[in-house]
Structure 1
Amino acid sequence: MRCPFCGHDNSQVKDSRPTEDNAAIRRRRQCEGCAGRFTTFERIQLREIMVVKSEGKSEPFDREKLERSITLACRKRAIDAVRIDRLVSGIQRQIETSGEGDVLTRHIGELAMEGLKALDSVAYIRFASVYKDFTDARDFEEFAGSIREVSGE
């Protein structure tokens, strides 16, 4: 594993333990070059998933990219990081077990919105504002109104 501090190729595993949801192994490592310590996570990957962007370009699925966008939508909300990790793991699991080698970004966005809707309405609206490309306040107002109509508020 390459050291994030000095770029040295070798590191020693000092501690390994499963994450709380047993979906990954957390490893504490020490670089053999600079003695810096860092953490890595090992997760099961069932198959290589390619994400097809709206303009037709494909790229490998990036869990961290999905996690960053969901975390950004949840910023300054009382949402535990473990719940965000579970949501991202659930989305990744749904994608991997779908049987498809290629998945549209639109489908990933819909899965994320579905999960955020159940998690936190403000985070859901924040994510939707980027995903649906809101351009002015009226877009927010109409979207929030549609949420109220569905939930009966």
Structure 2
Amino acid sequence: MRCPFCHNDDTQVLDTRVSDEGDTIRRRRRCAKCDKRFTTYERVELVLPAIVKKNGSRVEYSHDKLASSLKLALRKRPVSSDSVDESIARIEEKLLSLGEKEIPSERVGELVMRELKRLDKVAYIRFASVYRSFADIESFESALKELK
């Protein structure tokens, strides 16, 4: 680690501590050249893939957009916030596990539909009707048959 004071590359770790949450490591360091001390923090940086939309444009993944989509589909349904948060975590975990830099929006939509199907059938149909652009009653009937 480079010293922030004299830019020397030779530093020594004096103390290492893990945060109470277990997601951060704090290190006290001392520069071998100027003898000044400084603190560094280590955290895992998870980078979710970019989303490739149907028109080919790319957008940054948005946790908030995913959450609002799920909450909109689940509006006035008897599903706890914890269940929604767990579903979001599963979707994000799946996106990370794919190891891709870019993922088609259709793939994200399918993951959302899978989670909604588990959580609440009515919310699943709500989301599917918009996501799949149901044009007629037959489309609804087909989606309902999938649930049975």
Q: TM-score range by the shorter chain?
A: 0.5 to 0.7
Q: Distance in 2 between matches of 1:66 and 1:45?
A: 20
Indicate yes or no: 2:133 matched with 1:133.
yes
Larger deviation, residues 72-81 vs 138-147: 138-147
Matched with 2:52 is 52
Matching residue's letter, 1:135: A
Corresponding residue for residue 65 of structure 2: 65
Question: Is it true that 1:120 corresponds to 2:120 in the alignment?
Answer: yes
Aligned CA distance change for structure 1 residues 121 and 94 (closer, same or farther; 3 Å): same
Report the 3-state secondary structure (helix = DSSP H, G, I; strand = E; otherwise coil) of the residue aligned with 1:61: coil
CA positional deviation for 1:140: 1.2
RMSD over aligned Cα atoms: 2.1
Deviation of the 1:119 alpha carbon: 1.0
Alpha-carbon distance between aligned partners in 2 of 1:129 and 1:50, rounded to the nearest angstrom: 25
* Count of residue pairs the alignment pairs up: 109
Contact persistence 2:73–2:127 (CA under 8 A):
yes
Matches within 5 A, 1:27-106: 45-106=45-106
In structure 1, distance between residues paired with 2:142 and 2:128: 12
Provide the residue aligned with 1:10 in structure 2.
none
Determine which structure has more spread, i.e. the larger CA radius of gyration.
2
Q: Percent identity?
A: 35
The residue matched to 1:146 in structure 2 has which SS? helix
In the TM superposition, residue 65 of structure 1 has moved relative to its aligned partner by 0.4
Structure 1 unpaired stretches of 5+: 1-16, 24-43, 149-153
Q: Deviations over 1:86-131 (max 9, x none)?
A: 1011101110121101011000011111111111111111111111
**Counterpart Cα distance in 2 of 1:45 and 1:74:** 30
Any runs of at least 4 consecutive aligned residues in structure 1 with deviations exceeding 3 A, and if so which? none
State the TM-score, normalizing by the size of structure 1. Answer: 0.65
